[in-house]
Chain A
Amino acid sequence: MNTVVKIENLVKRYKELVAVDHMNLAIEQGEIFGLLGPNGSGKSTIINCLLSLTSYDKGEITVFGEKMRADNYSVKGRIGVVLQNVAVFDELTVYENIDYFCSLYIKDKAKRKELVKEAIAFVGLEDFVKFYPKKLSGGLLRRLNIACGIAHKPELIIFDEPTVAVDPQSRNKILEGIQELNRQGATVIYTSHYMEEVEQICSRIAIIDKGQLVATGTKEELKSMIQTGETIRVEVPEMTDEVLFGLEKLSHVLSVEYNEGLATIKCSGGRHNVLHVLEYLNNTETSFGRVFAEQPTLNDVFLEITGKELRDEVQ
């Protein structure tokens, strides 16, 4: 596999604040690479450094094997960018906006016309080509923003929180679109703080907190990094302390919580955990209702790795 983006020892400071702290990342060709982190964790700063939109204090960034610089236009031509804030001209129509941003990469008018049409069809804005951005809903505006970023068919596409403040339908359309672009051969970098989105589309994920890379790997690899393997929830109308202690002593059980008729049992890996729990309840003649078993989510991983305390946003 070819490494498309390589970030080595990247440090970016805003006066006293260290926004990116000795970051190392390697993104391979064909991946949908997720940058996951709470607000103010440094995701957008990494993207800005990667695109040479801002200078950095230390480190090196290589894209397509070339050192990334503000004047490396050949590399910039192979990158598509969908920034966090919608970047379109209010004075231009949907078509004119896509055409303008495509013209930053493609000079040939005929070719550009074709690409613009394809981009419009890709994001489903065919009925809005003559609309001005102010007439578009939040979801349509995000789709326009995406069309402006991908019209020139880039090999590497960077999506910086593209689904902020959009309705579920538009979000789904956007996520499907990103997967489709990846199937067509584009390498994607996707930043978000929505766990379910990252879990849904990313093949590899980096979790960032306070400017540092705290974990990286596939979903499965990340999930295996945390203690919680499986969470079992059992409806138990009444439970004695004796039964509660008994459950905690079962093999692979990490913790048991009982609250308002619901027992939550967290297990650390192991097999047939549900069977063992239900067998114990039967043996102790404890009546129970519905049973739910869940594998750990990225949310569990994220919270376990980054902690549950609230963060102050730093932009």
Chain B
Amino acid sequence: MKTVFKIAKKALPAASIYFCIFCGLMIAFTFLAGKDQEKNFQATKLDILLEDKDNSVLSEALTEYLGKENEVSEDFNRELVSELIFNGVSDYVVYIEDGFEEKFLSGEQGGLERQSIRANVAFLDEKIELFFRYVRAELALGKTTEEACKAVLLNCEKQAKTVVTSDKGQSMLSPGYYFFTYISYILPAILIMVLGPIMNAYYKKEIKMRTDCGKLSTRKQNIAIVSGIAAVAMMLWGLLMIMGVCIYGRDFTVSTYLCGMFNSFLFLLVSVAISVLIGVLVRGGDALNGASNLIGMGMAFMCGVFVPSEMLPDGVNKFAEFLPASWYMKNVRMLYETDNMADVIGEYLGNCGVIAIFAVAIFCIFLVFVKRKRVV
């Protein structure tokens, strides 16, 4: 076991570079995403100054329509408008003139004046135009002005649930989500770099032959290697979990953290199995480095770690089903998209089972290769 640590120690500089870079990125992504996009998002209410001189059904409906998502003030004083605008108290001004409804129904332009104070509230113009289009559509169906306005206002209440996404389409979830997400890249990448050289060393033909000549039984040798590998893997996983608590402690709920931990532990087993298999198949530091990048990044990309799976072609998503990281990611998403874990515990455990099956299957493949290598 001591020898395993000594070999692992030699691989640490290369692995720690990975660790530092990706931990740094993870933290950066998390904080940037958390502060600038997720936490700061809220539906913006504009302050609108409105003067309604028409007092018609349509003008009142428009006032109500605007008031649904904005602060509408009818305390209109033309002398104070300039001052309010200058001081930034109001964002938008609407003047509804007398005869506005009549003009609208007769298809004439005018009767309504609008003034945008800032360029970024120009969308309100479009919103008002939208209101008029809806009313016209309702009128075209033969409804009265009152019925048409009522119908439009009713429709406005049926608002679709908005899921806010970033420019990449990634769901904007808790910072802890990013922590567990990036683990699915870090674990296999680092473990291949650390465990690969250990397997390379022990399963080098000459070393294997030489150790097989020794008094120590094969079983004891294997126990020593497995114990060493388990200790190294647990140390890395433990370090990541502690780091997670330290950085995102406030963000985690107990159930999220425990379920995330268990999920990542199962993924650790898969990563260890992949790493030991790669360790007996691929020889040399450069080749292991390549394998680490190929497997770590390849799996991460295909399974929605870096690029959300919604943005990937169906073929890739289907292929990703055969990769353990995609099942791990399903659980991570589930943890952060579900309010009550109890509702999805069955699905969560099912995914955990699939990850465990992946670990066992890959480990069996490893054993087949080891057995084949044992024959001189």
Partner-B contacts on A (CB < 8 A): 48, 51, 53-54, 70-71, 73-74, 76-77, 79, 81, 83, 85-92, 96, 100-101, 103-105, 148
Contact = CB atoms under 8 A, between A and B. Distances in A.
B3 A92 contact: yes
Contacts of A51: 212-213
Given A91-B6, A96-B6, A104 B216 contact: yes
28 contacts: A48-B376, A53-B213, A53-B376, A54-B376, A70-B212, A73-B216, A74-B215, A76-B213, A76-B214, A79-B213, A81-B213, A83-B210, A85-B205, A87-B210, A89-B3, A89-B7, A89-B207, A91-B10, A91-B197, A92-B6, A92-B7, A100-B3, A101-B210, A104-B211, A104-B214, A104-B216, A105-B215, A148-B210
Please list the 3 inter-chain residue pairs (A to B) with the smallest Cβ-Cβ separation, ordered nearest first.
A104-B214, A77-B215, A87-B206
Contacts of A54: 375-376
- Would you call the interface of chain B mostly helix, strand, loop, or mixed? helix
Contacts of B367: none
A311 B117 CA distance: 97
A96 B207 CA distance: 14
Nearest to A73: B215
B165 to A, nearest CB: 47
Contacts of A87: 204, 206-207, 209-210
B23 interface: no
Nearest to A74: B215
A180 B373 CA distance: 36
Nearest to A84: B206
B217 interface: yes
Given A85-B206, A87-B209, A100-B3, 14 more contacts: A53-B212, A73-B216, A76-B214, A76-B215, A81-B210, A81-B213, A83-B209, A87-B206, A89-B201, A92-B3, A92-B6, A96-B6, A104-B215, A104-B216
Interface string B173-216: 00000000000000000000000010001001111011111111
A191 to B, nearest CB: 15
Find the residue from B7, B205, B206 having the highest chain A CB count within 10 A.
B206
A39 B303 CA distance: 53
Contacts of B10: 91
B217 A71 contact: yes
A83 B209 CA distance: 9
A73 B201 contact: no
Interface in B313-364: none
A73 B205 CA distance: 20
Contact of A91 (B7, B206, B209, B216): B7
B214 A101 contact: yes
A54 B212 CA distance: 11
A8 B169 CA distance: 74
Contacts of A148: 210
A76 B214 CA distance: 6
A89 B213 CA distance: 16
Contacts of B201: 89-91
A148 B209 CA distance: 13
Contacts of A96: 3, 6
B205 to A, nearest CB: 8
Nearest to A75: B215
Contact of B209 (A53, A73, A103): A53
B300 to A, nearest CB: 29
A298 B55 CA distance: 126
Contacts of A90: 201
